[in-house]
Amino acid sequence: MKTYLRITFVFILVVLLLVFSERHFLKRYLSYSGDPLTIPLSWYDPVENVSGQKDDDLQIATNNTHTISRIALNRASAFAKSESALSLIVIHQGVIQHEEYWENENRSVRFNPQSMSKTVLAMLTGIAISEGHIESVNDEIGKYIMEWKEDNRGKITIRQALQMSAGLEQMAQSLELSIFNRAVRHHLGTNFDEMALELKQVDPPGTKYEYNNEVTNILGIVIERATRMRYAEYLSSRIWKPLGLDDASMYLDREGGSVMKSCCILSRPYDWAKLGLLFLNEGVHKEKEIIPSDWIKEMIISSPSSDYYGYQVWLGSSYIPLKPMRLIYDKDDEPPLYLTDDMITFVGFGGQRVWISPKNELVIVYATKKWSNAWNEAKLPNMILQSLQ
């Protein structure tokens, strides 16, 4: 009997220890709706602050100074509203032509830009290179991640990782919301960096394009180790404050742990309008270079394995082949083409977008917290582009 009680006590103790050590995972898992687009931002807990220095300094067009017709802007607004948008911002020649919010929100509203955050990470990579923290985009990752130094994975270059051709396995093997799904345990869990570093090599680096969230997380680890700064701190000091953005936040795997670097800079649509304009202006804000102009130009060179992808940013007029997006494309539409051949796109899950056309001096931000009814990738920007031709 004593032996039985002792075994029962040990078993209960082990269970309690596991529950305590995984409390953040269990809290997230039990409160998770299964849809990263529609969960409230309060679900992301704990978070790390990305300090800003808010300066909402973008000029706003008046009735007499619009350079885009009101007819086109009204059509774009009606379409955005019909597709359950949270916000639509249109900038032309550096001036806000249209700024609108739905769901009784205003400029202060925050949303989850999802993987648009990847493009910001690529910007940070260029800054780290310009400051000498990273020697070159051709450096092997093993130079910065000691765990991979004597490993074949350490031979992946920063360039290959930026171009999504690292050849690493996918964390997600299915979309099943199960505690046994490795991707679920990673995204909701307490070991963001450790689990990313466990990924295996499945293809030779540089031979195959394959979009992989964890490759971006690996790049984030490289930035942290090269700069010896926390990712949110480096982001704050190099982009968020210099650009005059409002405070944002990134979610942590645990208190004092690591932020998720491949997505989810919880922030305002207005801040993404300023980020898009910074990109359009080749890294310059108020005559000060925040991101090296040559780096911005390098980011939009298509990779050898994909003509529609540069450094963590989408290029050109091609259909954007993100697997989850097939759920919201109209199956009767042809693959959409933009009415310009220079479209640059920050892309986030569920329809988060920043469209940039340097040729047309155009930036469009589309933010949402709900699924679209029947999404067409090019329809909204084409409404605006058509009025400029």
> The domain that contains 362 carries what CATH number?
3.40.710.10
If we measure between CA atoms, which residue out of 345, 128, 113 comes closest to residue 250? 113
d(CA 159, CA 80): 36
Note the pLDDT of residue 54: 97
For residue 46, being part of any structural domain is answered with: no
Domain span holding position 67: 52-102+113-388
Note the pLDDT of residue 316: 78
If we measure between CA atoms, which residue out of 239, 212, 251 comes closest to residue 128? 239
Query: In which region does residue 49 sit, left (phi positive, over 0), alpha (psi from -120 to 50) or beta (all else)?
Result: beta
If we measure between CA atoms, which residue out of 309, 299, 341, 324 comes closest to residue 375? 324
Q: What is the pLDDT of residues 132-152, one digit of tens each?
A: 999 999 999 999 999 998 899
In angstroms, the Cα distances linking 301 to 154, 166, 327, 337, 345 are 24, 17, 29, 19, 13
Note the pLDDT of residue 71: 94
With beta carbons less than 8 A apart as the criterion, state whether 140 and 148 touch: no
For residue 262, being part of any structural domain is answered with: yes
Sheet holding 59-60, edge to edge: 59-60, 95-101, 85-92, 362-368, 352-357, 344-348, 314-315
Position of tokens 């304009």?
Answer: 277
Residue type, 286: K
Note the pLDDT of residue 226: 98
Note the pLDDT of residue 8: 52
Bond before 46 cis per omega within 30 degrees: yes
For residue 228, being part of any structural domain is answered with: yes
Torsion of CA 248, 286, 118, 357, to 10 degrees: 130
Enter the tokens of residue 375. Answer: 């999404």
Total number of domains in the chain: 1
Enter the tokens of residue 165. Answer: 């051709």
Residues of the chain with pLDDT under 50: 9-20, 322-331
Q: What is the pLDDT of residues 48-64, one digit of tens each?
A: 999 999 999 999 998 88
For residue 159, being part of any structural domain is answered with: yes
Composition of the chain by helix, strand, coil, percent to 5: 40, 15, 45
Kindly provide the b/e burial profile for residues 266-293, where b requires at least 16 CB atoms within 10 angstroms of the residue's own CB: bbbbbbbbbbbbbbbbbbbbeeeebbbe
